[in-house]
Amino acid sequence: MISRKQLRQHLELLLNSGIKEIEKSGVDRKEKLQELAIQYAQCSKCDLSQGRTNLVYGEGNPFAKVMIIGEAPGQQEDLKGRPFIGRAGELLTKMLAAIQIQRDEVYITNIAKCRPPANREPTIAERAACLPYLIEQIQIIQPQMFLFLGLVSAQFLLNTNASLGELRKEVQTFMDRPAYVIYHPAALLRNEHLKRPAWEDLQRFQKHYLSLNT
């Protein structure tokens, strides 16, 4: 059995070699995310808390290479406490499958963790109230890249007023990692004409995703 002295020497060696944070085990990451979801379930930082059934924290692989970030929960998500499980969510699952990515391989969350009334866009104040939760999720999961679904998440996180048409044309950068911006699946459900450009974007994203380290 490793002695306390050996353990301390090992930790000192790691710290002195420039590794400031000891990698958490998969179990730790999963437990940490579960703990935080429970802790924030009672959040009352903004008025959205008053109308919600459940806070929708996020779900997926704690070791996901990509974090997918949508706008805010809808009715189904609010009822079940899970992101992207309504019609747009079903389409998202199909879009991922079309590029050979299983839903449980990625981590999915939203900018706003509670459903806005009548599915309106979350206000800037509501987005900002939730931002620390998102940053914390990113710090725990450490994804290698991002996929932003729609304009709300893209404009907010990239701090820009650029149009989706512009943002999808180039790989963006968020927290020093590549970030792809694609049409929100709800927009694809409303407008058939977006399907072709959305497919092209997904293929570009897939190519990059496949090139990531395992």
To the nearest whole angstrom, how small is the minimum distance from the Cβ of residue 74 to ligand URA? 4
Q: Which element (helix H / strand E) includes 200? A: helix 195-210
Asked whether position 70 contacts ligand URA by CB under 6 A, the answer is yes
Q: Quick check: 48 and 114 in contact, CB under 8 A?
A: yes
Give the nearer residue to ligand URA in terms of CB position, either 24 or 53.
53
Among the listed residues 72, 66, 20, the one whose alpha carbon sits nearest the alpha carbon of residue 51: 72
Count the neighbouring beta carbons within 10 Å of the beta carbon of residue 191. 11
Question: Contacting ligand URA (CB under 6 A), which of 74, 81, 116, 143?
Answer: 74
To the nearest whole angstrom, how small is the minimum distance from the Cβ of residue 2 to ligand URA? 44
Over the window 137 to 176, marking each residue x when it contacts ligand URA by CB under 6 A and - when it does not, the resulting string is ----------------------------------------
Phi, psi of 70 (to 5 degrees): -100, -160
Asked whether position 89 contacts ligand URA by CB under 6 A, the answer is yes
Q: Quick check: 195 and 162 in contact, CB under 8 A?
A: no
Give the nearer residue to ligand URA in terms of CB position, either 24 or 76.
76
Q: Which element (helix H / strand E) includes 178? A: strand 177-182
Number of residues that bind ligand URA (CB under 6 A): 13
DSSP 151: H
Task: Give CA–CA dist 141/34, Å, rounded.
Answer: 12
Over the window 90 to 109, marking each residue x when it contacts ligand URA by CB under 6 A and - when it does not, the resulting string is --------------------
* Footprint on this chain of ligand URA (rule: CB under 6 A): 70-74, 77, 83-84, 86, 88-89, 110, 186
